[in-house]
Structures are given as structure tokens and as C-alpha cells.
Amino acid sequence: MSLPEWLNGDDKDGDVPFSAAEILERCDILATHSSRVGAIERSYLTAEHARTNWTVGEWMAQAGLEPWQDAAGNQRGTLAGPRDDSPVLLLGSHLDTVPGAGRYDGILGTLMAIAVVGRLEAKGVRLPFGIEVLGFADEEGTRFGRTLLGSCAVAGAWQDSWWELRDAQGISLRTAFEAFGLDPARIEEAALPRERVLGYLEAHIEQGPLLEDADRALGVVTGIMGARRFDLTMVGEAGHAGGMPYGRRRDALLGASEVVTVIETLARDHGAIGTVGRMQAYPGAANVIPGRAEFSLDLRAETDELRDRVWDLIQEQAAKVAAARNLDFQAVERHDAEATVVGERLAEAIRAGIAATGDTAPLELLSKAGHDAMAIASLTDYAMLFIRCGGGISHHKDESVIEADVALALDAFEAAVLDLARTF
């Protein structure tokens, strides 16, 4: 089979379709679909989300996929299989971002999935299964606090209680759906029938430094850490910053601050990871003792048992801190995702894909970051390809990848799909 000329060329020219250079240019374009000037922020059911779906839909069509937006606002692209009832291989990642994001987290994997389909189509490869590319709409949970909304809808794991989740402006998820032009009553239409799905492959930047430290471009994921997220509150009493003696103060911010250090100590001592990423003191004036402090907790560990044990210890210690300062400590759980492990056959395909690029013993990595694959795991097996990122930096504007690594990753991802096709 003779290849189109551009497929044989080097990937330096950004005009080459489905090349690493083109993908990186497209990451730059999507970085402008932001609610903030000079920073990247794209959350669920916003104008930026709609614009991104439209743009990505165009790129899907160029790759030979039939683009469509599903009932949850995910951008999907379908490549039909040989028969109407052919099983479907899912490829994808997410299109939303955290506030102040980089341009590759989720985006790179989605665009790579599109490019792999484009490359296979251009080569005239006929797969024995269909492909569906998924650009998930809400992996980060930035707007409504609950993460993985897009992939949960596809996995058929949507929960009715989520309709009443509210964003920082008090807008409910139901209202935001309607404003976006989606019908909450049709949410189940986003779900894929389990019996038709072959598995799910996701490519993603590592979001950690291990590949870089090992001087490897690519790695194979063994599983994903489970995570729980909480809204924590210390309640005390506001008062005059000058007049109120220390012995009578009920300073909520001091109590919350002590708990922040308790979280770090307990998590580190037990091999878990705890992060307080947000804290707010009320009423929030320089000359008022804080009467209330609200803060978040993101807690992860290799096993759910360990994570839950550390949470119990944090609660115990926080209650002691609160008692010592005459405060009330409250915790509301916002998110809970179980730890998952990859499907062995799919992971083998990723290993074979990486081997095809020359690394026959790829680094195996447990993902400490969450991914849509966690939600899709309740529908079908998954596997993931990790790509080196500069300094392990992610969730930051300085997220970076090397074009040559993306080119290798494209080759590996394509080879993984072909590996599955061979033994189908």
C-alpha cells in the first residue's frame, strides 16, 4: 500500500495533516477558547465549551469521523465499523480545563485520538471494529465540584442528585444544561450500550516527573489512584481584631490553618496525598477575626482503603483542633472516585504500541492524576498511554510537551489500535 506523501514526510511542517505539529498548533488554538484573557479556563456548559465542541467537531470531520454532540455536551466522533452492529473501540480524553490551566491536559489526548483515526483513514486501513472518539466535556469538575460528569454520562453512571449541584453563581446543573441547549430528560441517551463496547484507550500527559527523570518519552499506565474531595468548614466567631483578647477568640482561620498542616503530616506519614487547594476566610476584612473558614481537601492514595483510613485520621485530628479552639468542624463530601486498574489486554496493546516506537520495556506508571478512564472503567476495560511533560508541570500555564514526544506518542497510539485489530 503506498502512503500519501505527507505521511512519509517529517512532522516539522504544521500543514501536514494529523501530524504532531498540527496537533500542537490545535492545542494553541483551543487555548484561546477561554473565559479569561491571558489565562486558560474552560469549564462545563459555557460559551467556551460550545466553541470548543464546534471547532473539535470540524477537526473530527476532517479526519473522517461523523461529529456529534451528545446529551451531556460531550463532543463525539463516530467512525462506522464494517457492520451496523460492529463493536466499537473508544478513544479520547477531555476538553475542559482547570482555572489557570496549561494547554495539553486532556486536550492533547483528544486531538491525538482524532489524528490516529485520520492517519488510519488516509492509509486506507479498514478496521474490524468501529471507533468512537470522545472529547469529554467535564473531567475536572471545576464548575460544579463533582468531577468526571461527561464520562459518567457515557458510562451510564449519571446520578439524578447531580441536577441540583450549583456553581459559584448559584446556577444549578439543570439550569446550566438548559441554557446550553441540552435537555436534562435525555441524559441517558449519552450512555453507550455495554455490549457494543470493546474497550477505551486514552493518551494523556503524565502530569508528574517520572518519565522525564527516567529519560523516557512514553509510559504505560498500570492503574489510577482513587480520589475523594471534601468541602471543609471551621466555624468560630467574628470579632474585633484589636479589642478581643486572645483567650476569648474563636478564630476559624487559625483552626483551619492548623488542620491544613495536620493534613500534610498525616498524608505524608501514611503514603497518601492530601491537598488543600482553596481557602476562604469570612467576613474577610483585615480588622475582623475570621468567624468562618472554608477550605477544600483533595485526598488520594494507591488503595481506597489507605485513602479512607487517612481521612478517618484527619477527621479525628481536626475535631481535636476544633475542640481546643472552641470551634465547630464540618465536612461535606463532594466527590468520590474509586481506584481502578487497567484491562490487561488493552495495556498489552499500549505496550506493543510503545515497543513499535523502539522502547521495548516501557516504564509502568500508576497515575496519581484522575482521568475519564476512571468513570469509563464501570462500562468497559481501559488502558492509558502517558506522554512526558516538561518538569512534570501540569494544572499550570507552563505545562509543556516536546513535539518529537507527541510524534512518538501518535505512532504508539496508532500501533496500539492496530495491535487490537490484529487479534480481534
User: Would you tell me which residues interact with ligand HGY (CB under 6 A)?
Assistant: 139-140, 147, 369-370
Cell of 375: 468513570
* Contacts of Mn ion in 95-134 (CB under 5 A): 105-106
Q: Strands of 259-312 (E only): list them.
A: 273-275, 279-282, 288-289, 292-301
Nearest distance in Å: CB 206, ligand HGY:
11
Restricting to residues 131-150, which ones interact with Mn ion according to CB under 5 A? none
Give the nearer residue to ligand HGY in terms of CB position, either 140 or 381: 140
**Smaller CB distance to ligand HGY: residue 244 or 279?**
279
Q: Which is nearer to ligand HGY, 235 or 369 (CB)?
A: 369
Residue 337, CB-side half-sphere exposure with 13 Å CA sphere: 34
Which residue of this chain has its Cβ atom nearest to ligand HGY in the complex?
370
109 binds, among ligand HGY, Mn ion, none (CB under 5 to 8 A by kind): none
Torsion angle of the four alpha carbons 342, 347, 350, 354, in this order, in degrees rounded to the nearest 10: 110
Listed in sequence order, the DSSP H helices in 339-402 are 344-355, 372-376
70 binds, options Mn ion, ligand HGY, none, Cβ within 5 to 8 A by partner type: none
What letters, b where the CB count within 10 A reaches 16 and e where it falls short, cover 234-264? bbbbbbeeeebeeeebbbbbbbbbbbbebbe
For Mn ion, the closer CB: 81 or 141:
141
Q: How far is the CB of 275 from Mn ion (least distance, A)?
A: 13
Q: Which amino acid is at 256?
A: A
Tell me how far apart the alpha carbons of residues 261 and 283 are, in angstroms, rounded to a whole number: 23
Q: Cβ of residue 104: shortest distance to Mn ion, in angstroms? A: 9
The nearest distance, CB 373 to ligand HGY, in angstroms, is 11
Minimum separation from the CB atom of position 366 to ligand HGY (A):
13
* Binding-site partner at residue 370 among Mn ion, ligand HGY, none, CB < 5 to 8 Å by type: ligand HGY
Residue 251 interacts with Mn ion (CB under 5 A): yes or no: no
Q: Residues 319, 361: contact at Cβ < 8 Å?
A: no
d(CA 331, CA 326): 17
Q: Name the residue whose CB lies closest to Mn ion.
A: 106
* Cell numbers found for residue 312: 478517618
Give the footprint of Mn ion on this chain (CB under 5 A). Answer: 105-106
